[in-house]
Amino acid sequence: MLRPLKFILIVLAALVALFLVFAVYVRLAPSDPQDWHVDPATAPDPERPNFARIDRVVALSPDDAAAQIAAQARREGATLLAGDEMFGTWIARTALMRYPDYVSIRLTPEGEGTRVTALSRARFGYSDRGVNAARLGRWIPD
């Protein structure tokens, strides 16, 4: 029969091992563009409340808006998963656990400016604590 302290140490070691396996999976899980590259204008809201949307017109040409968004995305370490800078999906990772978030952005000319339609959503977890909305606020020019 195991002594209580030894049992507790075994349980703690098992929990740490499970956490490490999950952390590695989160970092290495493949991102299939067919699953994540969606049109933010027509994509339904995700089932979980860990997403943010923006749909607004900015006073920039599509090329200038694309360049600013791409520059900010790259400054934050995001990589383009699919598409291009006019309609693409980026993988951005959270700061601490490096969870992947997917940011789909479509730019369309509208009048003298550009309509920016964006959807940022988390792959793992239930609540994003405002991370996706804050990201869109940083990426999308005013």
Q: Are residues 10 and 53 in the same domain?
A: no
Q: What is the CATH number of the domain that holds 48?
A: 3.30.310.80
Q: Are residues 40 and 75 in the same domain?
A: yes
Domain count, the chain: 2
Which residues span the domain enclosing 15? 1-30
Q: Are residues 107 and 133 in the same domain?
A: yes
HSE of 16, CA atoms in CB hemisphere, 13 A: 6
Nearest-angstrom CA–CA distance, 105 and 141: 12
Q: Are residues 78 and 12 in the same domain?
A: no
The pLDDT tens digits of the residues spanning 28-49 come to 888 999 999 999 999 988 877 8
Q: Are residues 37 and 26 in the same domain?
A: no
List the chain pLDDT tens, one digit each, 142 residues.
568 888 889 899 999 999 989 888 878 888 999 999 999 999 988 877 889 999 999 999 999 999 999 999 999 999 999 999 899 999 999 887 788 999 999 999 999 999 999 999 998 877 778 899 999 999 998 8
